[in-house]
Structure 1
Amino acid sequence: MSSEEMLEIAEENLQVHIEVEKEEEEIKSLIKPLQIWITNASGPICYQLIPLLANGEVFGMTTEISIHLLDTGQFKEVLCGVVMEAEDMAFPLLRSISEHTEIDEAFVQADIIIVLDDVLLNCEAQSLENYIREVSEICQVYAPLIEKNAKSEVRVISSGKTFVNLKAMMIMTYGPSIKPENVIAIATSWESAAKAMLARKLNMNAAGEYLFKDVIVWGNITGCNYIDLSHAKLYGYDCALWGPADFPHPLLNVIYDSKWIHSEFQSAQSSLSSQVCHCVGMLPAHAVATILRYWYHGSPPGEIISVGILTKGQFCIPEGIVFSMPVRFQNGNWEVMTELEINETTQVVLGRLAHELIQEKLIALKEIKEMHPYGADKITSKKYLHQGGFFSP
């Protein structure tokens, strides 16, 4: 082949290469990445969450995402550092990541908003009621911006270490055009911590070949909640009764030590609360990523997932509060598992939990000035622990 012919072929190859690259760029421009906004983005939860969102396991290996980090101006340097580090990781599905400190530009074209704002609880400095009002004021700013700037089908996730139910409730209250079914509060951290505690009791690994399922978190996720073991199941446990890998053992039949449930398990609630509320960030970040994966791709068939949602009278819980209860995710939506049976004692417990959330809502809306006690009816620990659960104050 002559040099002239080789040059002609090389020119043709170059033109084809340029055309292919141009076509790929055009195709890429047609792909609209998911727009994800994260508030309080200078915190450790966000730092742990970004790799989970960008590695493809949450939304799928073909879904690109753009992440927007929102925080106040005093944390601009921190946000810039996070952006640089995420860019250096070169996640193939991370189309872009940016920092934002101007509140007016928040949530533009958002598909998903993850609200991580927390208040630093110090009851010696100010009252619980003042913290509730502070959370309400934050949501009064966010909700109208979500209505104005985000997409109509935006999904809002409330997470963090404090007032996750209240944040979800106030976003719906101050943003009436936001679809209530698109706002949820995350309870998965409590599920995970409770499962780890149970695994230690049984001298086994909470992951691996053993598996806990259907531990239910009722009520105020970061307040007074109820860890319900009455439906919990254990798979792959080595005991006298053998079965296939998908054979479930009722957890309360495996933990036959009722004394432990009534005493040590109850006393361990304070350490469980401390573990969840003072974690560095891995646990809540993993919880957010897990729920997002379920929301977009469905939860495991038959498995119970605890999520804080707006009540509509399910399980005789008063309407109009965000209450953690059992749900399943299917086809991009969730539904409450109302077919689950709960006993009378649990029903009484749920009434007490609802009372606290109603009080929080009324204070946030400035309809009352301070929390009022539940009343003279006191539920003793023995009464509800016997049913396989415990309160976490």
Structure 2
Amino acid sequence: MTTELMMVIAQENLGAHIQKEQEEEGLKTCINPLQVWITSASAPACYNLIPILTSGEVFGMHTEISITLFDNKQAEEYLKSLVMETQDLASPVLRSVSICTKVEEAFCQAHIIVVLDDSTDKEVFTLEDCLRSRVPLCRLYGYLIEKNAHESVRVIVGGKTFVNLKTVLLMRYAPRIAHNIIAVALGVEGEAKAILARKLKTTPSYIKDVIIWGNISGNNYVDLRKTRVYRYESAIWGPLHYSRPLLNLIFDSEWIKREFVATLKNLTATGRQFGGILAAHSIATTLKYWYHGSPPGEIVSLGILSEGQFGIPKGIVFSMPVKFENGTWVVLTDLKDTEISEQIMTRMTSDLIQEKLVALGDKIHFQPYQSEHKDLVPHEEKNPVMSDAAYFLNQIPQTTFEKPQSLEFLNGFEGKTVES
């Protein structure tokens, strides 16, 4: 073959290659990427969430995404630097990343909305004012979601500040998609697993089926009755699928009732700092399960609107055991030996109902449920563990709550002014 002929063939091959690439690019423009919006994008959780979303682990390597970072005008410079860092990842699944500070443009055609904790400052506020201050922002978000988001939008609420309350308020103000709004409980679940793993000198990922009941960021009940430990090094050893009940491995019941409870209280008390890594991982894992299903046979905790399951009052967002399959979740109402005493259930539901009533102005003062019993865990239920919201109120004076910047946050957006 002559050199000239080889050059001709090479030119033809190059032309065919360029044409093929152009056709592929043209096809890409016809395929709409998944529109992911992240609120309060200047929060640390967002910084840690972006690399996970762009890795392809959450939605799959064949699903392109476009990320929009939504925050107030004051955060714009930081968001610009975050956009550049995200672009530097050169992720094959990232179609685009942009910022939005204009309220009227928020959630435009959004398929997924991640609601993070709004910023706080140090001004003095009472608990009741903290609860009521959630309403304006949730009302605004609800209106914008109903108006601008895609009809099949999925909303996932994360963070550590009144998570259940914010979720139920969003459902109230965005009723059209209320069935697609959930609250992330895997953060508390992860904290509990880590404490247990340190006690057993094992790996947290080997601990499965820890159930979180109730208020994710307040008065909740950590149920260990279904919890199992895999690959535990002991005299009894089995294949990878072999597991043992956790409560059969921790012989110090006093440690569970006291030290475990106290440590978890300290970590999960409402208003405490929630690490950005844990928040991001919990949100990403919940999204992954929502789209691709949770591991077969594994129990997942999720905050959803109660329909009366397990005797929980209707109309409140309550964390309970579920499994994800076929793009949705199924409440595991058929679990055996998961009954909760009336005292514990009343303690959890009372606080959640009061939070909602105070936030909406139907009740003036929040009064934590006070049990007649001094024991944190009733004698008939020594193994489950509870994190008590009343503990938080006793430890932190009501006059020192951090004031959320809900109203100032709204004023910081372009094109929107809210009187405070």
* TM superposition score category, shorter chain reference: over 0.9
Determine the structure 1 residue equivalent to 2:157: 158
State the shift of 1:241 in Å.
3.2
| Higher deviation after alignment, 263-272 or 298-307 | 263-272
Counterpart of 1:190 (choices 185, 188, 191) is 188
Determine the structure 1 residue equivalent to 2:382: 386
| Higher deviation after alignment, 270-279 or 258-267 | 270-279
* Matching of residue 355 in structure 1 with residue 350 in structure 2: yes
Which ranges in structure 1 are unaligned for 5 or more consecutive residues? none
Determine the structure 2 residue equivalent to 1:109: 109
* 1:388–1:374 CA distance, 2 compared to 1 (3 A): closer
CA RMSD of superposed structures (Å): 2.1
* 1:88–1:107 CA distance, 2 compared to 1 (3 A): same
SS of structure 2 residue aligned to 1:129: helix
- Output the CA distance in 2 between the equivalents of 1:94 and 1:366: 43
Q: Is the 8 A contact 2:38 2:115 kept in 1?
A: yes
State the shift of 1:338 in Å.
0.4
Paired AA for residue 241 in structure 1: I
* 1:323–1:345 CA distance, 2 compared to 1 (3 A): closer
Residue deviations 1:5-61 (CA, integer Å, cap 9, x gap): 556445433432332122111221122211000000011100000000000111111
SS of structure 1 residue aligned to 2:288: helix
- Output the CA distance in 2 between the equivalents of 1:133 and 1:150: 25
Determine the structure 2 residue equivalent to 1:217: 212
SS of structure 2 residue aligned to 1:324: strand
Residue deviations 1:73-113 (CA, integer Å, cap 9, x gap): 00000100100111111111111000111111000010000
Number of residue pairs the alignment of both structures matches: 388
SS of structure 1 residue aligned to 2:324: strand
Residue deviations 1:95-148 (CA, integer Å, cap 9, x gap): 1000111111000010000000336486x8111111111111110100010011
Q: Is the 8 A contact 1:295 1:330 kept in 2?
A: yes
Which ranges in structure 2 are unaligned for 5 or more consecutive residues? 390-420
- Output the CA distance in 1 between the equivalents of 2:341 and 2:82: 45
Paired AA for residue 232 in structure 1: T
* 1:243–1:9 CA distance, 2 compared to 1 (3 A): closer
- Output the CA distance in 1 between the equivalents of 2:266 and 2:306: 29
- Output the CA distance in 2 between the equivalents of 1:214 and 1:19: 52
Determine the structure 1 residue equivalent to 2:32: 32
Residue deviations 1:208-228 (CA, integer Å, cap 9, x gap): xxx100101111101111111
SS of structure 2 residue aligned to 1:57: coil
Determine the structure 2 residue equivalent to 1:235: 230
* Matching of residue 132 in structure 1 with residue 128 in structure 2: no
**TM-score where L is the length of structure 1:** 0.93
* 1:87–1:345 CA distance, 2 compared to 1 (3 A): closer
| Higher deviation after alignment, 59-68 or 231-240 | 231-240
* 1:369–1:250 CA distance, 2 compared to 1 (3 A): same
Q: Whose RCO is larger (CA < 8 A, sep 6+)? A: 2
* 1:170–1:9 CA distance, 2 compared to 1 (3 A): same
- Output the CA distance in 2 between the equivalents of 1:190 and 1:376: 24
* 1:382–1:274 CA distance, 2 compared to 1 (3 A): closer
State the shift of 1:381 in Å.
1.4
- Output the CA distance in 2 between the equivalents of 1:386 and 1:11: 78
* 1:2–1:235 CA distance, 2 compared to 1 (3 A): closer
Q: Is the 8 A contact 2:225 2:383 kept in 1?
A: yes
* Matching of residue 262 in structure 1 with residue 260 in structure 2: no
**TM-score where L is the length of structure 2:** 0.87
* Matching of residue 334 in structure 1 with residue 333 in structure 2: no
Q: Is the 8 A contact 1:121 1:131 kept in 2?
A: no
* 1:375–1:390 CA distance, 2 compared to 1 (3 A): closer
State the shift of 1:279 in Å.
3.6
Q: Is the 8 A contact 1:39 1:69 kept in 2?
A: yes
Written as runs of structure 1 = structure 2, the 5 A alignment for 1:1-393 is 5=5, 8-118=8-118, 120=120, 125-180=124-179, 182-207=180-205, 211-273=206-268, 277-342=272-337, 345-374=340-369, 377-378=372-373, 380-383=375-378, 386-393=382-389
- Output the CA distance in 1 between the equivalents of 2:64 and 2:339: 48
State the shift of 1:299 in Å.
0.4
